[in-house]
Amino acid sequence: MVTPKLWRLADNPFDMAEQKVEDIKAIIRPCGLSPRKSQAISDLSKLLIDKHGGEVPQSFEALEALPGVGHKTASVVMSQAFGVLAFPVDTHIHRLAYR
């Protein structure tokens, strides 16, 4: 599993921002698109520090305003981190549901 390994490396934006992108990439490689995602994780950690005091925003609107965060990711964060009822659906499931 990727998340426990990533959280062992750094479990907050301050620590994550200090990590080498290559170290993040090595951990998230099984998820695919690791070069792009690892840079995005690093950049987003720095942005959370600069614009949000290192805190994760607690609204869909604020989350979706972050680079690389769409409605599905915002739904996952809102439901898992903040206990908000949300149903994360990716574009493929959304498309199939309308068929």
Say which CATH number the domain at 47 has: 1.10.340.30
Token representation of residue 8: 């062992």
Closest residue by Cα to residue 38 from 53, 17, 11, 55: 17
Q: Are residues 42 and 74 in the same domain?
A: no
Contacts of 1 (CB under 8 A, 6+ apart): none
| Rg, C-alpha atoms of the chain | 14
Instruction: State the catalytic residues.
Output: 72, 90
Q: Are residues 68 and 38 in the same domain?
A: no
Domain range for 89 is: 57-99
| Distance between CA atoms of residues 77 and 74, nearest Å | 5
Q: How many domains does the chain have?
A: 2
Q: Are residues 13 and 45 in the same domain?
A: yes
Which pLDDT tens digits describe the chain residue by residue (99 residues)? Answer: 899 999 999 999 999 999 999 999 999 999 988 999 999 999 999 999 999 999 999 999 999 999 989 999 999 999 999 999 988 887 777 677 777
pTM of the model: 0.85
Token representation of residue 46: 């720095």
